[in-house]
A and B are shown apart, each in its own frame.
Chain A
C-alpha cells in the first residue's frame, strides 16, 4: 500500500535557511546541510529545498549546497526557485536533485515541462503553484514570482495544462496560511486534488499533528509539506507518524 508522505520545506535565502510568514518576514532557522542531516536521522519522507532569494534567481545558487546536502540526505530531494530553462533542471538533477519544482516558468513556458519530462521522466517535474485568496470574495488567485505577480488563470485550468505538458506532481501552497500555523487551506488542497490526475503535495499552515490529520482525512492528498511546524516546535516525523497512525493513516515502516 502506498503511504502518506510528510515533507519538510526548507527555504534558502543566501547562505541560511529562513522561515517566512505570508511569503515575507524572514526568520533565520539554521544551516541547510545540518538541517537536512537532522531530518534524515528523523526518517522524514522527503525534502523540498526552495531558493526564495528574490535578487538571485538562478539555479547556480544551489551548486555547493546540493553537493553537501546529498552526502547526508538519503531521501528524495526536490529543488526549486528560479528554474527558467531546461539547463537549470538538468544541472540540478545532475547534482543530486531527484525532482525540480517549476513555478513561475510554468505559466509562461509549458514546453519546458515537456522538455524536462522527456529527458528525466514526468516524475521529476513538480509544478509549484502559489495561491492567495481574494480578500473580498475568498476566491482562489494564482501568483508567480515568489507571490508577487498575479496570474490570470484558473487553478484547475493551470493544473490540467501543466499535467498535459509533462508535470508529474503538483505542489500547491497557500500564501495566506504560510507560516501562520493555523492549519491547511483544506478546500484549496481538495480542489487541487480534484483537478490533478497526478499526486498532489499540499502546503501552507502546518502547526500541529492534528492539522495534518484534518487535511489528510478531508482530502486524501498524497503528501503534506511543513515548514514552521518543524522549524519552531519539537515536532518531528516519528511523532507525527505515531499520532496519525492512531487514525488509520498509513506511513512507512522504518
Chain B
C-alpha cells in the first residue's frame, strides 16, 4: 500500500491527488503503527525544517521512520520532507533531522540577480541513473519553491543537480531512500511520472 505521511503542514491534498492521478490509491498515514502496512511511503512537506521535525517528534514518528527505512521499503521525501532526511537543518535554529542521509540543509546564497526564494521551473540534471527517473528525458524542468537546500556529506548521494547561481542537490538518494527538492506533485506530466516510478520502485538501485 502507498502511504502519504500527514505531518499537518502543507499540501497533503495535492500530493494525494497527484499520486491518485498517477494510478494509485494512497492512504494517509498519521499513526506510527500504520507504517506496518505501507510498502511505499511519501513524506511531503511545505514550510520550516524545525516545525517539520517538531511535528515528527510529537507524532512519535522519528524512530518508526528510521525502522521503516532499515526495512528496505522505499521512502520519498518531497521539499521539506526531503530536507528532514538530513542530519541537521539551519533554518531558524540548528535542528537535528532524521539523519537518514548524512548532510546539512543550508540557506541558498543570495547572489544578485538570483533572488531567494528560488521560485519557478528549473532543469533537473541527473548525475546518475535511477529507477525513479526512468522515462524522464534529460534536463526537464520541475517546479521549485524553496530558500534552503540539502548539502549531502557524501557526493555519491547526489542523484541530480540544479543550477541557481551555483549548483545544488535537487535529488538526493541512498539505497531505498530518495528526496526531491522540487515538487513532482506540481510539475505536471514529468512530475506525475516521478511519482508513478516511485510507487512502482522495488527500492533497489
B147 adjacent to A121 (CB under 8 Å): yes
- B18 near A74 with CB under 8 A, answer yes
Q: Which residues on the B side are within 8 Å of A111 (C-beta)?
A: none
Contact A40 B137 (CB under 8 A): no
8 A Cβ contacts from A67-86 to B? 67, 70-71, 74-76
A121–B121 CB distance below 8 A: no
Question: A53-61, A92-100, A134-142, A203-211: which one contacts chain B?
Answer: A92-100
CB–CB B122/A70 < 8 A: no
Q: Does A222 contact B (CB under 8 A)?
A: yes
Stretch at the interface among B6-14, B64-72, B150-158: B6-14
A4–B189 CA distance with the chains assembled, in angstroms: 19
How many angstroms between the C-alpha atoms of A5 and B119 in the bound complex?
10
Cβ contacts under 8 Å, A168 to chain B: 117, 119, 147
Closest to A45 in B: B121
Tell me the bound Cα distance from A222 to B145 in angstroms: 13
Other-chain contact of A120, B10, B116, B118, B192 (Cβ < 8 Å): B10
Tell yes or no: B161 within 8 A of A by CB.
no
Q: Which of B46-54, B98-106, B126-134, B196-204 contacts A (4 or more CB under 8 A)?
A: B46-54
Q: Is A252 touching B121 in the complex (CB atoms < 8 A)?
A: yes
| Interface membership of chain B positions 162-201, coded 1 if the CB is closer than 8 angstroms to chain A and 0 otherwise | 0110000000000000000001011111111000000000
Query: Residue A1 at the B interface, CB < 8 A?
Result: yes
Q: Does A242 contact B (CB under 8 A)?
A: no
The answer for the CA separation of A216 and B86 in the assembled complex, in Å, is 38
Query: Would you give the shortest CB distance from B4 to chain A, in whole angstroms?
Result: 14
B47 A121 Cβ-Cβ under 8 A: yes
Q: Is the CB of B115 within 8 A of A199?
A: yes
Asked whether, in the complex, the Cβ of B115 is within 8 Å of the Cβ of A222, the reply is yes
- Binary CB contact string for chain B from 6 to 34 against chain A (1 if under 8 A, 0 otherwise): 00011111100110010000000000000
For B139, give its contact among A5, A45, A222, A253 (CB under 8 Å): A253
Contact status A119-B117, CB under 8 Å: no
Interface residues in A198-229 (C-beta closer than 8 Å to B): 198-199, 220, 222-223
Asked if B147 and A122 sit within 8 Å, CB to CB, the answer is yes
> Is B140 engaged at the interface, CB distance under 8 Å to the other chain?
yes
Residue with the highest number of chain A CB atoms closer than 10 Å, among B48, B119, B190: B119
Residues in B with CB closer than 8 Å to A251 are 121
The reply on A153 being an interface residue by CB < 8 A is no
Q: A74 and B120: CB pair below 8 A?
A: no
Q: Kindly count the residue-residue contacts between A and B in the assembled complex, taking CB atoms under 8 Å apart.
A: 125
Verify A96–B11 contact, CB threshold 8 A: yes
Q: For the complex, what is the distance from the CA of A71 to the CA of B17, rounded to whole Å? A: 6
A98 with B14: CB separation less than 8 A: yes
| Contact among B10, B118, B188 for A43, CB-based, below 8 A | B188
Listed residue (A93, A123, A197, A253) with the most chain B CB atoms within 10 angstroms of its CB: A123
* Complex interface: chain A residues within 8 A of B116 (CB): 197-198
Contact between A98 and B121 (Cβ–Cβ < 8 Å)? no
Q: A197 to B144, alpha carbons, bound, how many Å?
A: 18
CB distance from B48 to the nearest CB of A (A): 6
Structural contact, B118 and A119, CB atoms closer than 8 A: no
Interface residues of A in 96-153 (CB under 8 A from B): 96-99, 118-124
B117 lies within 8 A of A169 (CB):
yes
Q: Identify the closest chain A residue to B113 (Cβ).
A: A220
The yes or no answer to A254 lying at the interface (CB within 8 A) is yes
Contact B14 A123, beta carbon cutoff 8 Å: no
Q: Which residues of A contact B (CB under 8 A)?
A: 1-5, 40, 43, 45, 67, 70-71, 74-76, 93-99, 118-124, 168-169, 196-199, 220, 222-223, 251-254
Nearest 6 pairs between A and B by C-beta? A252-B141, A252-B121, A123-B117, A123-B145, A3-B121, A120-B47
A selection of 6 A-B contacts at a CB cut-off of 8 Å is A2-B114, A2-B144, A45-B120, A119-B9, A122-B147, A222-B120
